[in-house]
Amino acid sequence: MTSPIPAFPLRHVPFSRRGSWLNLSPVVATHRTVDDVHLVSHRTGMHPVLSLVPQSEADAASGRWSVSADAASVRWSNGSLRVQAVFAAPDTLRLRGDAGSTLRLAEAAAELTPFTGIYLFRDPRDGSAVFTSYETGCRYRVTVIRGSLRIEGAESLGTASRAVTVAAVDGPGGGIAEGWEIAIEEFESSRPPFVASGTFDDGVAEVVEEFTAFAARIAPWSERLDVAAPARDASLLAAYVLWSATVSPAGFLRREAVLMSKHWMDKVWSWDHCFNAVALASGEPALALDQFLAPFDHQDAVGALPDSIAHSERLYNFVKPPIHGWALARLRAEGLALSDGVRDEVYDKLSRWTRFWLDERRAPGRALAYYQHGNDSGWDNSTVFDRTRLVESPDLAAFLVLQLEELARLAEETGRDPGPWLAEAERMTAALADLWRGDGYVARGVADGGDAERTSLLPLLAVVAGDRLPAAVSEALARGASAFLTEWGPATERPDSARYEDDGYWRGPIWAPSTMLLEDGLRRAGHVDLADDVSARFRRLCERGGFAENFDALTGEGLRDRAYTWTAAVYLILQREAVRRGDAAV
């Protein structure tokens, strides 16, 4: 069955399935890409478990094999020989190959010690080969459905090679071989022997049906003929990036969760989840609500959210900006309904998160909250923090104003008094004037009150407060934002700045979240033409270069990880709104 999206390079987009903690990719570590495709697990971190090397029985050299992937399967080819893989279930990979081909599955770790590497044995119950990984804490069972299995290094220790090779066997009476097929399962301790359910092609058809239905729900315009082909293809690929990066509840992640990536950024950070939630809201409301609430499952005693959550790690040494009130308003505008119990839960969690900023992150006698480090702002190395790390920044004040107002709305809906929240919002809004310098806002050092330099886009994100700002203020912010626009969208550092860097993380490159917040604020402040322009440039960037972590602001080249979910999410949000406005039609 044909996949609904074109083939994509595995070096850029890992192959996986919703719910799986596994993927296939040649990317095996941070910024490390190898020649062979690997089975990679994201339990306890990112760990390449097995290399998958197809070979020809006539010629063991594997260099002539080409590989391609789409939402349905991964395919290796060498002349007339084919090998194919599909996720028959989130924890089960099925592979098949033509007669004349073999597949070698070898451990990725070089040496077995008491705490590293893979142990391999043959299970006497069914003859399967079982790799046990210290790194992931899981077993990887290889069961032959058709063919034969040769095991190397079973039960060996030290530096011995541990691998299995699958090949076809002759047909009945020495006739033509039918090819081979195997299943690889990931599990923890034990499970019954594998029994194939349906055919390989049934598994492909099931994946196509599942993904197609998902894409139709979150990107329904992708089926419309009046939407330009680049937008249709990009929308489907963006939907795939989100769908395939979704993992089932496990470890610290108590809900179905969309990871930032199934490359090395395999975590949920406490602001990226908001963009993923908004992208999913109209078509997958239950999944969207889970994304919004996931970090709140780990809220600490003072109300802080963790910086990030992974399968086996929670970090609290930093936080992320409080965009959650903004996100909740967007979710509800997309029709996300909250039951009474969930509304009470959200009110409690959001109020505690807001009180953290008001009680734990304000200097005595000051109305404005502060960041302790660039990481707290989400803009890790922004030039705003070059002079001093503790800063009162206008974007933070604007986020809190929106959050306080959303809390007031929730308070009214749940029979509580909205007055205290509204009073705090008024106080915060008034205090923003302290950061105004006539033609724009500045960030200010907490210790000495000195102004940070104004070459970063970050202070301009105060425009997210939209129509709550005086007209003259929003006009000045819109003019200021225009100085950051390149052909592809808003650079995070002004391109004429001496501190601008092409690949400088938050010191130049274009990022999805800053683009989304800027576009939304400009639109709500009445600067519709500029908002349309920002949206169109970023959408064109993604249609040209995919969904990278960030982009060179001058060339549009994708940088670092090329399969980032918040980039895909922001593209889907902006494209959804453009279709509604009629801006995305041919």
DSSP 297-316: GG--TTSPPPSEEETTEEE-
For residue 530, what pLDDT is reported?
A: 98
Is residue 195 within 8 Å of residue 116, measured between CB atoms?
A: no
Is residue 421 within 8 Å of residue 405, measured between CB atoms?
A: yes
Q: Which of 32-46, 169-183, 363-377 has the lowest mean pLDDT?
A: 169-183
pTM: 0.96
Rounded to whole angstroms, how far apart are CA atoms 550 and 143?
41
Is residue 561 within 8 Å of residue 529, measured between CB atoms?
A: no
Rounded to whole angstroms, how far apart are CA atoms 249 and 229?
36
Q: Choose between 452 and 153: higher pLDDT.
A: 452
pLDDT, tens only, 528-558? 999 999 999 999 999 999 999 999 999 999 9
Confidence at 150, pLDDT banded by 50, 70, 90? very high
Rounded to whole angstroms, how far apart are CA atoms 336 and 34?
43
Domains and CATH numbers, the chain: 22-206 (2.70.98), 219-553+564-581 (1.50.10.10)
Is residue 294 within 8 Å of residue 255, measured between CB atoms?
A: yes
Question: Which residue is it, tokens 């002079």?
Answer: 387
Residue in 49, 35, 136, 63 with CA at minimum distance from that of residue 93: 49
What number is the average pLDDT over the span 276-281? 98
What number is the average pLDDT over the span 441-463? 97
Question: Which residue is it, tokens 């032959």?
Answer: 144
What number is the average pLDDT over the span 184-199? 95
In one letter, which amino acid is 7?
A
Rounded to whole angstroms, how far apart are CA atoms 199 and 94?
10
What number is the average pLDDT over the span 546-573? 97
Is residue 166 within 8 Å of residue 103, measured between CB atoms?
A: yes
pLDDT, tens only, 389-422? 999 999 999 999 999 999 999 999 999 999 999 9
Distances from the Cα of 3 to the Cαs of 8, 70, 74, 204, 427, in angstroms?
11, 6, 11, 9, 54
| pLDDT of 256 higher than 60 | yes
Q: Tokens in use for 75?
A: 């395919």
What number is the average pLDDT over the span 103-111? 83
Is residue 284 within 8 Å of residue 217, measured between CB atoms?
A: yes
Positive/negative CA dihedral, 10, 16, 18, 19: negative
Residue in 323, 275, 320, 360 with CA at minimum distance from that of residue 461: 323
Is residue 56 within 8 Å of residue 100, measured between CB atoms?
A: yes
Confidence at 173, pLDDT banded by 50, 70, 90? low
Please, which residues have CB within 8 angstroms of residue 414's CB and are 6 or more apart in sequence? 340, 343, 344, 347
State the CB neighbour count (10 A cutoff) for residue 358: 16
What number is the average pLDDT over the span 174-182? 82
In one letter, which amino acid is 3?
S
| pLDDT of 276 higher than 60 | yes
Rounded to whole angstroms, how far apart are CA atoms 179 and 94?
14
Kind and range of the H or E run holding 551: strand 550-551
What number is the average pLDDT over the span 514-523? 98
The CA-to-CA distance between both ends of the chain, in Å, stands at: 29
Confidence at 586, pLDDT banded by 50, 70, 90? very low
Size of the chain, expressed as the number of residues it contains: 586
pLDDT, tens only, 339-376? 999 999 999 999 999 999 999 999 999 999 999 999 99
